Each structure stands twice: as C-alpha cells, then as structure tokens.
Amino acid sequence: MKTLKVALLGCGNVGAQVARILLEDASELAARAGAKLELSGIAVRNIEAKRDVELPRELFTTDALALIADADVVIELLGGMEPAGELISAALASGASVVTGNKALLAVRGAELGALAAANGAQLRYEAAVAGAIPILRPITDSLSGDRITKVMGIVNGTTNFILDAMDTTGAQFADVLAEAQALGYAEADPTADVEGHDAAAKAAILASLAFHTDFDLADVHCEGISSVSAADVAAAADAGMVIKLLAIAERLEAGIAVRVHPTLLPRKHPLASVHGAYNAVFVEAENAGELMFYGAGAGGAPTASAIMGDTVAIARRLVADAPVIASGVRGSQPALRFDQIATSYWISLRVADESGVLSRIAALFAEHGVSIELLRQSVVDSADGGSALLRIVTHKSTEAALAATVAAVGKLDVVKEVTSVLRVEGN
Ligand SMILES: NC(=O)c1ccc[n+]([C@@H]2O[C@H](COP(=O)([O-])OP(=O)(O)OC[C@H]3O[C@@H](n4cnc5c(N)ncnc54)[C@H](O)[C@@H]3O)[C@@H](O)[C@H]2O)c1
Ligand SMILES: N[C@@H](CCO)C(=O)O
Ligand code: NA
C-alpha cells in the first residue's frame, strides 16, 4: 500500500485533534483512503508549548517550509492571513494538496489559491472552513452538482447564535449575554469577528462561490452584526411568533447573486429557528431537490478535525489509483446485531386492575428481568370498567430480549388486563 506524507501546520485546538486522529486511527484511515496517511511532522512556533494532546516530541519542527517540501498533503491549521497564505501557496506550487479550515484566508484569496491548485494538479479542500463539522461544502459541490441551487441560508457562527438564543430564552441584553458567553469560553476575548458578522461573511462568500459556481469574495458580502440587537427587538420578535437569527444568505435573484449577513427575523416554525445554543445549520434550496437542512457542531477541536480528516481521506483517495470505490468496509468486519441484542429505552402502557399491590407486583417483574424503571405514572382511573388504572412505564436502556421477557411476564399477571402498547424511545 502506498504511503502519503501528511504535514500538519499548527497544533492548536483543531491541529492537536487532527494529529491525534492521524496517529490513533491510522489503520482505519488507511483502509478508507487506500493509502497510509503518515503524519510526517507538525510545524509549530514553540516545540515545548503545552498541548491538549500528548504527541511524540520528534514530530515537532519549527521549519514549516522544509516539512512542506517533503509532503504529499499539507493540513494548514494556523489560521490568519500570513504565514498561512504563503505556506499554502508554497505547498500547492510544489504539487502537494492542501486541506485547511481557514475561512478568513479563503474568503479573500480562495479564487487565487484554487487556480494555483488547478495549475499544479493539486487539490485544495476546506470543508472545515464553513460550519465546522457539518458536511456542507461537499454536499453542495458533489451531491447537488446535478441540480441548480437557488438559495443557501445558514446559521454559520456559533458564538452569535449562542448569544441570540440566550437573549431569546432569558430576555437579557446583548452585552450581558456576551459577557456570559466569554466566561463560558464560547466567545473569544476579542469577539469582534464573530459579533460583527465578519466570520459569517467569510463563510457566506465561500458558500456563495460554491453554490453558484462563481468567485465571490468578502467584498461582495453585505455584512451587519448583532451588537445593535436589543432585548426589546428580541421580545417584539417573540410577540410576533418570530425569532432573530444571524443568517448568512446567498441567493439567485433575476439580476444576479445576492450575498449578505445580517440579523434576520424568522418565523418560529422555520427549521433554522430551532437551532439553539452554539450549533450551526445550513438550509439549502435547489430546483429539483427542494429544501434540505444540514445541522451540527460548527466549531470545536474534535468536530472541526472530523471535517479536516474527511477532506484528507478524500484527497488521498484521488491520489491513489487503487483507492476503494466506496469508503466502506468488508461485510462481516463488524458484527450485525440481532434485534434482541439491541438496547434502548421503552415506553410501556398497561391497563391494570385498580387495587392494592398491583404496582409492586409489576415492578418486581421488571426487577426480576433486570429492566430498570425510569418513570412510572398511573394516569387515568376508569371506573366504568370495574376499576381499571392506566399505567405508563418508561424504562432505562435495556435489551430487546429482556424487555420482551418482561412484557410477556407482565402480560400474564391476572391483575394486568391489557398491554396497550410498547414503544421505543430515542433522544430523551
Ligand atoms: N476552533 C474551531 O472550532 C474552528 C472551526 C472551524 C475552523 N477553524 C479554523 O481552523 C484554524 C485553526 O483554528 P484553531 O482553533 O485550532 O486555532 P488555534 O489558535 O487554537 O491554533 C492555531 C495554532 O497555530 C499556531 N501558529 C500560529 N502561527 C504559527 C506559525 N507561524 N508557525 C507555527 N505555528 C503557528 C498557534 O500558536 C496555535 O497553536 C483557523 O483557521 C480557524 O479559523 C477553527
Ligand atoms: N468563531 C466561530 C468558530 C467557527 O468558525 C464561531 O463562533 O462559530
Ligand atoms: Na463544514
């Protein structure tokens, strides 16, 4: 199997997680990529600095250019315009492919770097740059390449969504919530790029370029932040059944493409209105597909590293002739569980005789089968029926086998008139 040398530039929040995944999951990544992904080195400013992840010291270097010169794939996670731009250019010029999450750089120099990649037969991928872990750029460029996108509308900045959501739920003022977000580590010490919409505008330029097959840069994006949104605005929106979200919007109008970022009123029933906290989501409208929504973590070390790794595997698969056609495994390599081995939580409804000792007999049967009860509620007493009580039991996770045996045993009790329903519960 071919080995590809992967050079990592930067070992901060995201870089440290990328290094960890490359080392921990090496054999699985090789199987998916069709090539070994060898972490050839990590360029840092200070080799002795303390990091989130313990990594072999010999991987570290302060000579990024030497590392790049020897690499097949370069992962840039320094952030900022320089030296990131210069190092990415050097990598692409040498024919190495590049993965980056650097939206600030791409929103200004994306077209130029894309052209440099094309001229050198290199790939430039940047799924992490927009909405972190959420796969959105590849769905737009690959999955929807046979359709015509008409509008992209996203919550692409977690900090501002956290602030607006907290204002909506608590009624607090912007400045108070910002201070809280900073204390919790959601907002940066200098929150300007997030709060004034600049981060979202960079992502809007990238989304618009890919969705509409045209190069847009930051200067094409109208940008307003959320610092002037007041508690009164949020309350008035709530009164009208609306919520205020900072949206990045790119849409095809008759005369051209409009790209903008601003606080926007959304009806509460819109799917984007249900995106809470620091989560991100992107809503896409396409002529044939209709409406689609992509939702998940827009930031964080490991989530963002997931997107970086996906791009790295995608690059490797195009670099090796014998890459697997689909990135899935071999049948039998993971056991397929029988249904009775699955553990889940259940909601069981019973109609029982309304007399003393019934609850304890039923509870004893659950205990005997090792099924733990989370909630038991006697909801309705039906006197027309000789005294029936309706019981609702919600269980902790247990196996289908244990549940089936419990329900069978409970159903046989003389005091149980009927097992009305057994439903499985997810997401509680
Ligand atoms: N953190 C996230 O959730 C997130 C999400 C999406 C995209 N991104 C992007 O990923 C990139 C990295 O983000 P991060 O959160 O890991 O940032 P970070 O600040 O935690 O890490 C960057 C690291 O690069 C180092 N560095 C800077 N200049 C350097 C140089 N010249 N030589 C060597 N090392 C240098 C810094 O010391 C730091 O350790 C940025 O472009 C960011 O926009 C981050
Ligand atoms: N500052 C960004 C990080 C991810 O780009 C946010 O709040 O979403
Ligand atoms: Na993404």
Structure token pair of residue 350? 């019973």
Q: Does residue 122 share a domain with residue 24? A: yes
Structure token pair of residue 206? 């990238």
Distance between CA atoms of residues 181 and 186, nearest Å: 5
Query: What does the CA dihedral 213, 219, 221, 226 come to, rounded to 10 degrees?
Result: 150
Q: Does residue 122 share a domain with residue 166? A: no
End position of a domain, from candidates 262, 297, 332: 297
Query: What does the CA dihedral 138, 135, 147, 267 come to, rounded to 10 degrees?
Result: -150
For ligand 3, the distance from its centroid to the CA atom of residue 222, given in whole angstroms, is: 22
End position of a domain, from candidates 241, 264, 297: 297
Mean pLDDT in residue range 69-86 = 98
For ligand 3, the distance from its centroid to the CA atom of residue 231, given in whole angstroms, is: 31
Residue 381 pLDDT more than 80? no
Q: What is the pLDDT of residue 239?
A: 96
Q: Is 390 within the bounds of a domain? A: yes
Whether the predicted interface score ipTM is above 0.95: yes
Dihedral sign for Cα 161, 165, 168, 172, please. Answer: negative
Q: Does residue 263 share a domain with residue 146? A: yes
Q: What is the pLDDT of residue 382?
A: 67
Residue of minimum CA distance from atom 5 in ligand 2: 299
Mean pLDDT in residue range 204-223 = 97
Q: Does residue 278 share a domain with residue 162? A: yes
Question: In testing the pocket of ligand 1, which one of 51, 77, 194 has its CB within 8 Å of the most ligand atoms?
Answer: 77
Q: Is 335 within the bounds of a domain? A: no
Query: Quick check: pTM over 0.90?
Result: yes
Please give all residues whose beta carbon lies within 6 A of any atom in ligand 1, as ranges.
10-15, 43-45, 64, 77-79, 83, 101-103, 128-129, 132, 299-300, 304
Tens of pLDDT, residues 87-120: 999 999 999 999 999 999 999 999 999 999 999 9
Tell me which residue range forms the domain holding 170: 137-297
Distance between CA atoms of residues 361 and 341, nearest Å: 26
Distance between CA atoms of residues 49 and 2, nearest Å: 33
Ramachandran area for residue 244 (φ above 0: left; ψ -120 to 50: alpha; else beta): beta
Q: Does residue 49 share a domain with residue 144? A: no
Q: Is 327 within the bounds of a domain? A: no
Q: Does residue 96 share a domain with residue 27? A: yes
Distance between CA atoms of residues 288 and 42, nearest Å: 44
Please give the share of the chain, as a percent, with pLDDT higher than 70: 97
Q: Is 338 within the bounds of a domain? A: no
How does DSSP assign 180-223, residue by residue? HHHHTTSS-SS-HHHHTSHHHHHHHHHHHHHHTTS---GGGSEE
Q: Does residue 163 share a domain with residue 47? A: no
Q: What is the pLDDT of residue 212?
A: 97
Q: Is 329 within the bounds of a domain? A: no
185 or 10: whose pLDDT is higher?
Answer: 10
Question: In this structure, what CATH number is given to the domain that contains residue 207?
Answer: 3.30.360.10
Tens of pLDDT, residues 286-317: 999 999 999 999 999 999 999 999 999 999 99
Tens of pLDDT, residues 335-366: 888 988 899 999 999 999 988 899 999 999 99
Q: What is the pLDDT of residue 188?
A: 82
Question: If we measure between CA atoms, which residue out of 128, 416, 401 comes closest to residue 280?
Answer: 128
Tens of pLDDT, residues 397-425: 999 999 999 999 999 999 999 999 999 99
Q: Does residue 266 share a domain with residue 161? A: yes
Number of domains in the chain: 3
From residue 248, alpha-carbon distances to 95, 99, 105, 145, 157 in Å are 33, 23, 18, 21, 9
Q: Which residues make Cβ contacts (< 8 Å) with residue 24, sequence separation at least 6?
A: none
Residue 324 pLDDT more than 90? no
pLDDT band at 328 (very low <50, low <70, confident <90, very high): low
Whether 294 and 134 have beta carbons less than 8 Å apart is answered as yes
For ligand 2, the distance from its centroid to the CA atom of residue 194, given in whole angstroms, is: 7
**Which segment of 144-158, 209-223, 249-263, 370-384 scores lowest on mean pLDDT?**
370-384
Mean pLDDT in residue range 367-372 = 97
Residue 31 pLDDT more than 60? yes
Q: Is 337 within the bounds of a domain? A: no
Question: In this structure, what CATH number is given to the domain that contains residue 382?
Answer: 3.30.70.260
Q: Is 334 within the bounds of a domain? A: no
Q: Does residue 93 share a domain with residue 220? A: no
Q: Does residue 270 share a domain with residue 413? A: no
pLDDT band at 329 (very low <50, low <70, confident <90, very high): low
What 3-state class would DSSP assign to 410? helix
End position of a domain, from candidates 254, 289, 321: 321
Atom number of ligand 1 nearest to Cα 103? 43
Q: Does residue 287 share a domain with residue 164? A: yes
Q: Does residue 163 share a domain with residue 111? A: no
Question: In this structure, what CATH number is given to the domain that contains residue 14?
Answer: 3.40.50.720
